[in-house]
């Protein structure tokens, strides 16, 4: 990954950092839209995307190797002001979000403000994650709305987490982009175009590496 510099949390003291995790298998325009909305809506200095190694809830692994998912994420944020990528989770293997936040807090120090960015679907399930109390004590939550979720249910969950965990949550309702990584993988395997779904550099990388069943025309 020499061609793709990764973000150093040791240099993030006195910064407001947003952390956005995921398999990014592959990263797509929906991810980038959510990252930009969080960056602007929560007044963050930087949003750092954290491709996962092997997430505890997906122990069968990802479809693309970790190195490729990291490379695609780095390509996607290149030239995007305020966005960066980190190999923190990939380098450390499988870990829970609470563990990730604890480790990053130790790296950037007490002067760094951490926010954890997630989508509406994840917010509704957050109370069932590993050590939600620990997670919510280490970082603010920035939840970005995704199409298809009831606003009333989201607001009710925000109130529950605030009342029961003392959570600090910002709910950003600036729409969303209804794209899924599974749809992109399926389209790739069928040889369908990816324009408008992923950055051009990511589409080119998928073709070059033959990811997700892509076969070069002979």
pLDDT, tens only, 128-144:
999 999 999 999 999 99
Residue 15 in this model has a pLDDT that exceeds 50: yes
Q: What is the model's pTM? A: 0.91
In sequence order, the 6+-apart residues with CB closer than 8 A to the CB of 213 are 185, 188, 189
Would 218 be classed as within a structural domain?
no
Task: Give the total number of structural domains in the chain.
Answer: 1
Mean pLDDT, residues 181-209: 94
- What's the confidence (pLDDT) of residue 69? 96
pLDDT, tens digit (0-9, with 9 covering 90-100), for 175-188: 677 888 999 999 99
Distance CA 203, CA 26 (A): 9
Task: Flag whether 3 is in a domain.
Answer: no
Confidence bin at 174 (pLDDT 50/70/90)? confident
Predicted confidence (pLDDT) at residue 93 exceeds the cutoff of 90: no
Is 159 a member of any domain? yes
Residue 122 reports pLDDT greater than 80: yes
**Domain extent for 203:** 14-213
* Residue 2 resides in a domain: no
Within a domain: residue 204? yes
Contact, 7 vs 84, CB < 8 A? yes
Give mean pLDDT, residues 114-136. 95
Q: Answer yes or no: is 6 within a domain.
A: no
Give the count of beta carbons closer than 10 Å to the beta carbon of residue 15: 15
State yes or no: pLDDT of 1 exceeds 60: no
Q: Is 97 a member of any domain?
A: yes
Instruction: Return the CATH number at 206.
Output: 3.40.50.620
Return the pLDDT at 2: 46
**Mean pLDDT on 44-58:** 82
Instruction: Please state, in angstroms and rounded to a whole number, the distance separating the CA atoms of residues 98 and 136.
Output: 8
Residue 115 falls inside a structural domain: yes
């Amino acid at each position: 990954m020499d061609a793709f510099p990764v973000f150093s949390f040791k240099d993030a003291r006195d910064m407001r950092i947003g952390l956005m995790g995921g398999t990014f298998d592959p990263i797509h325009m929906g991810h980038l839209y959510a990252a930009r909305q969080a960056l602007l809506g929560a007044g963050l200095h930087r949003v750092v995307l954290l491709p996962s190694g092997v997430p505890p809830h997906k122990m069968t692994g990802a479809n693309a190797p970790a190195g490729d998912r990291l490379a695609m994420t780095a390509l996607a944020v290149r030239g995007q002001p305020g966005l960066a990528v980190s190999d923190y989770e990939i380098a450390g293997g499988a870990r829970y979000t609470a563990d990730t936040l604890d480790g990053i807090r130790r790296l950037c120090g007490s002067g760094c403000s951490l926010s954890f960015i997630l989508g509406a679907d994840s917010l509704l399930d957050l109370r069932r994650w590993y050590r939600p109390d620990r997670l919510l004590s280490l970082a603010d939550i920035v939840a970005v709305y995704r199409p298809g979720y009831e606003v009333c249910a989201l607001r009710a969950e925000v109130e529950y987490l605030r009342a029961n965990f003392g959570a600090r949550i910002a709910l950003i309702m600036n729409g969303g982009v209804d794209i899924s990584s599974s749809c992109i993988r399926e389209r790739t395997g069928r040889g369908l175009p990816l324009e408008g779904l992923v950055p051009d550099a990511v589409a080119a990388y998928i073709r070059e590496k033959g990811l997700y069943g892509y076969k070069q025309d002979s």
